[in-house]
């Protein structure tokens, strides 16, 4: 929830979002994208106090997707920890550029 403070005769919103330690790299990238390219959405989320929850959800979704894609790639290309232990050069060649 957003807070307000009184300055003279006016109530001014406190627009500084609370710190959230659960926002990773994907959440920070989403924040930057919204701030730079979707300003109305960013402002709305910020003023309703939903910005950090949105960023945490986006970060979690993107992390899960990256892990799933990495696992799918490793399975398709037969890249395993056993291959890494047995033949490191073949393992390095299998990694996409």
pLDDT at res. 92: 79
Mean pLDDT per block of 10 residues along the chain (97 residues) reads 85 73 89 96 90 93 94 84 84 71
At 8, list the tokens: 């003279």
Are 76 and 52 in contact, with CB atoms under 8 Å apart? Answer: no
Q: 12: which 2 tokens?
A: 């001014």
Domain span holding position 12: 3-94
- Write down the pTM of the prediction: 0.66
Task: Identify the pLDDT of residue 37.
Answer: 97
Residue 14: enclosing H or E segment and its boundaries?
Answer: strand 10-14
What is the enclosing helix (H) or strand (E) of 22? none
How many of the other CB atoms lie within 10 Å of CB of 77? 13
Number of structural domains, the chain?
1
């Amino acid at each position: 929830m957003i807070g307000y403070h009184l300055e003279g005769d006016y109530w001014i919103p406190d627009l500084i979002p609370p710190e959230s330690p659960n926002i990773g790299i994907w959440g920070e990238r989403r924040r930057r994208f919204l701030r730079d390219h979707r300003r109305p959405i960013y402002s709305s989320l910020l003023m309703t106090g939903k910005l950090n929850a949105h960023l945490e959800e986006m970060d979690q979704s993107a992390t899960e997707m990256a892990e799933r894609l990495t696992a799918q790639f490793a399975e398709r290309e037969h890249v395993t920890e056993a291959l890494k232990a047995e033949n490191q050069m073949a393992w390095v060649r299998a990694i996409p550029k």
